[in-house]
């Protein structure tokens, strides 16, 4: 058992909270039983596992997977939550070449979203609706531990690509996926559009909205009608409303 937070493996794992170290090493952290299980099922390569002293060893660990038991002080250097298990895993690339949403494509595109919690929540909604996620111009890396955690492991279920807005746009064009931009004025309600065909729903950041790249490309402008005295919805909430409206239309068509 490792008790010292100064242990080299503990320090190396803790350093993966920083993006630069994740990029340098090609590794990232996955915390929690469900999250690690989903990553493992998705073919993510687990390098080793840290288990908090006294916590039961996960049932799904495979032969040859290195496991290190940590004392509470050392474990707290790596973990945020209370699950008592953290994996060090090889970082997926999330490249556009291997992005392959199921037809008829339902793609959530996010532009310049920064908050890991919002990206995590969008991943949960995408997983619940069978949608894919195209992350454009994000300042946040999808292997950020807070994205992984907030997604409850949906990161490993949803087809995800991370790229620029320009490349995302040409990818969608090449695959004949219609672009609909979420706007806060001069748009039509989501239920007035046909969302049953291949469609990309594009959501901008809460602060600046969508860039002209997307506003000029969009075939439709979707505006979620606000009845009350508020100006905006949280970006992840808006994404969920649009994705489930697509599901409503698609299930009605069956």
Give me the residues that bind a copy of itself (CB under 8 A), please.
121, 124-131, 152, 154, 157-158, 189, 191, 224-230, 233-234, 236-237, 240-241, 244-245, 247-248, 251-252
Nearer to a copy of itself, 75 or 159 (CB): 159
CB of 231 to a copy of itself, least distance (A): 9
| Side-chain-facing half-sphere of 175: CA atoms under 13 Å | 23
CB of 146 to a copy of itself, least distance (A): 13
Nearer to a copy of itself, 14 or 242 (CB): 242
Nearer to a copy of itself, 78 or 119 (CB): 119
| Spatial strand order in the sheet of 199-203 | 160-163, 132-136, 106-111, 199-203, 178-182, 220-222
Nearer to a copy of itself, 51 or 155 (CB): 155
* CA 156 to each of CA 36, 60, 71, 92, 104: distance values in angstroms, whole numbers, following the listed order: 9, 16, 29, 10, 21
CB of 170 to a copy of itself, least distance (A): 27
CB of 109 to a copy of itself, least distance (A): 18
| Side-chain-facing half-sphere of 164: CA atoms under 13 Å | 4
CB of 104 to a copy of itself, least distance (A): 12
State the Cα–Cα distance between residues 42 and 86, nearest whole angstrom.
Answer: 17
- Are the C-beta atoms of 201 and 107 separated by less than 8 Å? yes
Nearer to a copy of itself, 61 or 223 (CB): 223
C-alpha radius of gyration, the chain, whole number: 20
């Amino acid at each position: 058992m490792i008790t010292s937070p100064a242990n080299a493996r503990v320090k190396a794992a803790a350093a993966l909270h920083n993006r630069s170290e994740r990029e340098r090493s090609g590794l990232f952290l996955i915390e929690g039983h469900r999250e690690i299980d989903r990553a493992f099922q998705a073919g993510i390569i687990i390098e080793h596992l840290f288990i908090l002293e006294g916590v039961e060893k996960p049932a799904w660990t495979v032969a040859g997977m290195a496991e290190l038991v940590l004392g509470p002080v050392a474990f707290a250097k790596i973990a945020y939550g209370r699950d008592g298990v953290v994996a060090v895993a090889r970082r997926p690339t999330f490249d556009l070449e291997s992005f392959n949403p199921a037809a008829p494509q339902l793609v959530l595109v996010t532009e310049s979203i920064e908050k890991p919690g919002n990206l995590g929540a969008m991943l949960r909604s995408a997983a619940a609706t069978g949608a894919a996620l195209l992350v454009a111009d994000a300042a946040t890396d999808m292997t950020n531990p807070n994205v992984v955690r907030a997604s409850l492991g949906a990161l490993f279920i949803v087809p995800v690509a991370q790229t620029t807005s320009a490349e995302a746009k040409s990818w969608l064009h090449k695959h004949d996926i219609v672009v609909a931009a979420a706007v806060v004025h001069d748009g039509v309600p989501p239920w007035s559009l046909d969302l049953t065909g291949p469609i990309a729903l594009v959501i901008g950041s809460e602060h600046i909205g969508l860039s002209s790249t997307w506003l000029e490309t969009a075939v439709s402008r979707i505006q979620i009608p606000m009845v009350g005295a508020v100006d905006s919805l949280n970006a992840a909430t808006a994404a969920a409303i649009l994705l489930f409206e697509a599901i409503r239309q698609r299930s009605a068509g069956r």
